[in-house]
Amino acid sequence: PIGTLYGIMNNGTTNYSPLLSDVNSIIVMSATTSNTVNIASGTGFPVGSTLNIVQYGTGSTTIVGNGVTIVSTGATPTIPKIRVQYGSATAICIATNIWLVAGDIA
């Protein structure tokens, strides 16, 4: 089923660790300094879960794993960054503790 889309406005927060309730939502990173979205193991994300991440602020948004493997086509495949302000990326759980990040990444 398709989840409800809603924004999580971080209001300048520099770190955010998605929760199971964030699946199929839009995570809006509004920080003016470098910030991270930290996908952690043990959160219970089922295979097929998606996290949509938007770099709304001027700070560079990096997607990192804590106990999970991140893969992407980014310049640093295991630690992708959203390329520019207003860019976005989607993290997709493709296997237990393995996330593929695709989108406007560097």
What are the pLDDT digits (tens) for 23-50?
888 899 989 999 999 999 999 999 999 9
Q: 20 — phi, psi (to 5°)?
A: -55, -35
Classified as helix, coil or strand, 58 is: coil
Average pLDDT over residues 75-81: 95
Nearest to 43 by CA among 70, 71, 65: 65
Q: Please, what is the Cα angle at 23 between 20 and 29, to 5 degrees?
A: 100
pLDDT-based confidence at residue 52 (cuts at 50, 70, 90): very high
pLDDT-based confidence at residue 2 (cuts at 50, 70, 90): very low
pLDDT-based confidence at residue 1 (cuts at 50, 70, 90): very low
Q: Taking the complete model, does pTM exceed 0.85, yes or no?
A: yes
Supply the pLDDT for residue 8.
Answer: 65
Distance in angstroms (rounded) separating the CA atoms of residues 34 and 11 = 13
Supply the pLDDT for residue 65.
Answer: 97
